Amino acid sequence: MSHQAPEEPSSREINLKDFQRLIRTMYYEKDEARGIEGTFMWLMEEVGELSSALRDGTQEERLGEFADVLAWLATIANVAKIDLTEAVQRKYGHGCPGCNHLVCDCPDEEKP
């Protein structure tokens, strides 16, 4: 097993592709061993923690929980071999997938 020396954290903005790559570098071996189902359960736990933070948490707690949910989503995508940037671009890169407009005008009773 070879480990690359970690890069120093940066204060620069991070895009989705970089974030997914960062999560892969940090956790992939553990994530792959846990599998999609086990990792999905962790994501659901984090979604529950986000729900609590949205109801009763501080802004700092909300920031942390949003980051955790995004990290666990990136983890599952890595194990499932899904490029999140590609997935987002394909589904939302040309506007709302329901009405195909940049600003959604789908009826409220419909998704999205």
Residue 110 — very low, low, confident or very high, per pLDDT cuts 50/70/90? confident
Q: Where exactly are the structural domains of the chain? A: 16-81
Q: Could you give the CA distance from residue 49 to residue 64 in angstroms, rounded to a whole number?
A: 10
Helices in 80-111 by DSSP H: which ranges? 84-92
Judged against a pLDDT cut of 60, whether residue 2 lies above it is answered with no
53, pLDDT greater than 70: yes
Q: Which amino acid belongs to residue 24?
A: R
pLDDT at 103: 94
Does 3.20.20.150 match the CATH number of domain 16-81? Answer: no
Query: What are the tokens at 53?
Result: 């933070």
Tell me the percentage of the chain whose pLDDT exceeds 70: 89
Residue-averaged pLDDT of the chain: 91
How far apart are alpha carbons 22 and 45 in whole angstroms? 22
Q: Which residue has the higher pLDDT, 59 or 4?
A: 59
Determine the average pLDDT of the residues in 51-70. Answer: 98
Whole-structure pTM value: 0.82
Closest CA to 3 of 34, 31, 25, 19: 25
**Which pLDDT score is estimated for 12?**
82
Give 67-99 pLDDT, tens digit per residue: 999 999 999 999 999 999 999 999 999 999 999
